[in-house]
Amino acid sequence: MNPNANPVTLLSVRNIHKHFGYKQVLKGISLDLHSGKSTLLVGRNGAGKSTLIKILAGLMRPSNGEILYRKESIADNPEKYRKAFGLITHATMFYGDLSARENLLFFGRLKKITDLNEKVEHALLRTGLSHASDLTVKVFSTGMSKRLNIARLMITDPEILFLDEPYSGLDLESIDLLNKYLGDFKSKGGTILLISHQIDACYDFSDKVAFLIKGVIEREIESGNLSQSELLEQYQNQTYMRPNE
């Protein structure tokens, strides 16, 4: 059965607000993530994109609103929810003094992955890091760390991916690697929420584009109705100019 034929709502974001001190960063975000679909979230710096991802990943609590994973609030069973998603952020999130393999094994163990050793070796092979698997991560280049992040996603086998600027610092080869992984991931019924300024890199597999402006999702566009150049134009209009100016 093709899972994309009948998409399920995996994650449902309802009216999320977030205050930071005196400032309100998110002002009522509602968003649905469906299986087999990917959503590209674009917006200016400081629009609240990364904050939204942190809230969705359960790293922050929203000041208001709720997040439903398969119709169940994520606050009710956080551990089950945390098993279901993968995360890439600006930080590499690896221990510099552990080797690549040790890092993967550590996070894999915490995620209770079965057949961990084989999966780790396989992921290292696919990301082309086998030759460096015993080096400590602190000697890795940015690109290698990013690829190691992709390897971590491969072993943890999530259902939802939150990717915050995953393309930054990647060479073309690694972009292909990531896109191939994301394509497979989608065809298996996963859902992706992506933040990126590199529209050309992620246009092909974005099904929906959401414009986050000043803490509000101003509009959502099905990217099927839009060519890449139209999207780029929209993107520049929406994100680099204030709507009222």
Residues near another protein (CB under 8 A) are 19-24, 54, 57-61, 63, 79-80, 82-83, 85, 87, 89-98, 102, 106-107, 109-112, 136-137, 214
* 3-state SS, one letter per residue, for 21-52: CCEEEEEEEEEEEECCCEEEEECCCCCCHHHH
Q: Give the nearest distance from C-beta 200 to another protein in angstroms.
A: 27
Minimal distance, residue 152 CB to another protein, in Å: 8
Task: Give ∠ CA 55-218-54 in degrees, rounded to 5.
Answer: 10
Q: How far is the CB of 222 from another protein (least distance, A)?
A: 30
Identify which of residues 7 and 28 has a Cβ nearer to another protein in the complex.
28
Nearer to another protein, 89 or 196 (CB): 89
Provide the minimum distance between the beta carbon of 17 and another protein in the complex, in angstroms, as a whole number.
12
In DSSP notation, 177-238 reads HHHHHHHHHHHTT-EEEEE-S-HHHHGGG--EEEEEETTEEEEEEEGGGS-HHHHHHHHHHH
Residues in Cβ contact with 77 at an 8 Å cutoff, skipping those fewer than 6 apart: none
Q: How many CB atoms lie within 10 A of CB 85?
A: 23
**Least Cβ distance, residue 155 to another protein (angstroms):** 13
- Tell me the HSE value of 130 on the side-chain side, using a 13 A CA sphere: 8
By beta-carbon proximity to another protein, the closer residue of 79 and 225 is 79
Judged by CB, which is closer to another protein: 17, or 126?
Answer: 17
What single-letter amino acid sits at 177? Answer: L
Q: How far is the CB of 170 from another protein (least distance, A)?
A: 17
DSSP code for 135: S
DSSP letter, residue 162: E
Which CB atom, from 97 or from 171, has the smaller least distance to another protein? 97
- Residue closer to another protein by CB (options 36, 86) is 86
